[in-house]
Structure 1
Amino acid sequence: MPICTNCSHPTPYLYTVYDSEDNLRLEQCSSCHAFADPYVEHDALTLGIDLMLLKRDVFRHLLFNRGAGARRLSNKSSGEATSSENPQSHELQREKGRRLQILRLGFFLVAVDASDYFSHSMDPSHPGTVEIAQWNQDALESYFRVLTGCLIETVGFHVGVTLASFIVLHALDWLRSHGDAQAPSGLRTQFRCSHIPLTILYSSLNKFFLLFLLTIWRPNSQSSSADSLQSQYNATNLLSHPMLRGALEMLDDDKLDREWIIRNVLGGMATGFGLRVVLDCHPVFTTMIILTGWAVKTALAHLVSGWVGASISIQAGSEGAEEIWLAYSIP
């Protein structure tokens, strides 16, 4: 059953479709009396922008209401609602659709992640002493190993987060059953296992978008932030203070790894927000869940670092290829 994106109260219908073309009416929630899901009228561009902005309602729409909640009214049926599908079979079909979406979106994001890793592992100053055909063969082998390593990391992170989420949810249910008997929320009653990996994938779109922008506009590491600002504002003595200059020097490209921050800090915060929406629990528990997923992912990254780094060493001509692979790990 779909839910209200405003208060998460279960509602049988989100909108009503009439006989005339493009004629529908949004349903009101019986609890908060707001529109149950305004996103049914929005296009994919609006959904994508709101997803980048981490809006709560768009997560609820994509996870719980996508492809559901339609009621059809026909003039021939004297205003009575018609339904051509069994609710149980329709829910099973939606579950299959979510799993298919996980596979498609997951493989796409893993390929994007592997391409980003592979582009950073190549040394552009390395002389091309190898023949073109052999270089292409080595490059494909290196990319395949990086792709496999990213796939193992991603699967490990999803498995760790999913197991930790189920442990937290069962613990909260046990505490709720032995404490005040409060009715579970609509999010909890409509929760399915496929919601967790799909939430992680939706949350990671924000991270990959920022990484894409960072790939296009590379930071300039020739001059420090403090020196550049000092040259622009020579008339003031404010930037000559040692504490302020030290704070600005921390933003230099040789000291601040922007990609590490985007991957781990911002990516972890976005994933935590998405899990907070779908699990409906305290942020402390979602933080513990994210840390568990990070621990599993980091352990697997160290496990495959030697195998992945061997091909990068041959292709990039660098000795510390394992350090390149582990450069964006959590520790």
Structure 2
Amino acid sequence: MPICVECGKPVPNLYTEYSKQNIQLSVCASCNNFADQYIEHDYVIIFMDLLLHKKQVYRHLLFNKLEYVDSGIQPGIKKLAILLILFDVYIKWLKLESIPNINVLSHYFYILFVCTIELIIFHASIRFIIWLLFHKKYEIIKYNYVTIALIISSFSKLLYILMIIWDYGEINYSWYINILVFTSNVEAISVFLEESYLKTI
């Protein structure tokens, strides 16, 4: 069931469709706001609100936008995860560029392996910590959605493209991006678990 992005309460529907290009957004009975205004927003607005760490946009993506899956993750999220790994690989590989007498291809695949293992360990660790802290509070925790939330909230790794455009040697942009990724992860898990930031951290 979809939820209101403002208050997080379940709603019967998000909009009423009168024709192909004519819809009316539903109003949440609990808070009297539109249940999900992001239905009418384009991807630029959604991206900006993700950067601003708005809870509403994470509720929209996690509970209303994505098709519900009982296990596993959606194909689109898998593609995003692969893209994020490749960005990580590129940045690490870029730092080895100045090392002389290096076998570029073998090091690339080695870094790819390391980044993949890092991602698996990170997600497994977060799942374990959530189980440790919240398994008594929640009868059922959809751990696949923990992974989905972490992948979506790691979107800011795509900003690594800035390190290609500008001279990455002058400023280590990766530190700023890593901080942004961390705070986005905290926001997404906080929204998913409906917990405060301190409990999430």
User: Aligned residue for 1:270?
Assistant: 184
In the TM superposition, residue 29 of structure 1 has moved relative to its aligned partner by: 0.4
Amino acid at match of 1:99: Q
Residues 11 and 35 in structure 2, CA contact (< 8 A), matched pair in contact too: yes
User: Aligned residue for 2:96?
Assistant: 121
Q: Secondary structure at 1:16's aligned position in 2?
A: strand
| TM-score, with length taken from structure 1 | 0.55
Alignment of 1:190-201 (within 5 A): 192-201=142-151
Residues 52 and 205 in structure 1, CA contact (< 8 A), matched pair in contact too: no
Task: Give the one of 75, 81, 85 matched to 1:100.
Answer: 75
User: Which piece of structure 1 moves more, 4-13 or 274-283?
Assistant: 274-283
Distance 1:200 1:13 in 2: 26
Distance 1:203 1:214 in 2: 20
User: Aligned residue for 1:45?
Assistant: 44
Q: Secondary structure at 2:137's aligned position in 1?
A: helix
Q: Deviations over 1:53-78 (max 9, x none)?
A: 2221111000000157xxxxxxxxxx
User: Aligned residue for 2:120?
Assistant: 155
Residues 200 and 271 in structure 1, CA contact (< 8 A), matched pair in contact too: yes
Distance 2:148 2:32 in 1: 29
Distance 1:258 1:40 in 2: 33
User: Aligned residue for 1:164?
Assistant: 129
Shift in alpha-carbon separation, 1:24–1:67, aligned structure 2, 3 A: farther
Q: Secondary structure at 1:281's aligned position in 2?
A: coil
In the TM superposition, residue 41 of structure 1 has moved relative to its aligned partner by: 1.2
Q: RMSD in angstroms over aligned alpha carbons?
A: 2.6
User: Which piece of structure 1 moves more, 270-279 or 110-119?
Assistant: 270-279
Alignment of 1:5-44 (within 5 A): 5-18=5-18, 20-44=19-43
In structure 2, runs of 5+ residues without a counterpart are none
Number of residue pairs matched? Answer: 201
| TM-score, with length taken from structure 2 | 0.87
1:217 is the counterpart of 2:166? yes
Residues 102 and 197 in structure 1, CA contact (< 8 A), matched pair in contact too: no
In structure 1, runs of 5+ residues without a counterpart are 69-90, 129-134, 175-188, 222-252, 288-331
Distance 1:2 1:153 in 2: 33
Distance 1:23 1:258 in 2: 44
Residues 5 and 37 in structure 1, CA contact (< 8 A), matched pair in contact too: yes
Distance 2:70 2:52 in 1: 26
Distance 2:3 2:111 in 1: 40
In the TM superposition, residue 212 of structure 1 has moved relative to its aligned partner by: 2.7
In the TM superposition, residue 195 of structure 1 has moved relative to its aligned partner by: 1.8
Residues 5 and 36 in structure 1, CA contact (< 8 A), matched pair in contact too: yes
Amino acid at match of 1:30: A
What percent of counterpart residues are identical? 31
Residues 3 and 9 in structure 1, CA contact (< 8 A), matched pair in contact too: yes
Q: Secondary structure at 1:171's aligned position in 2?
A: coil
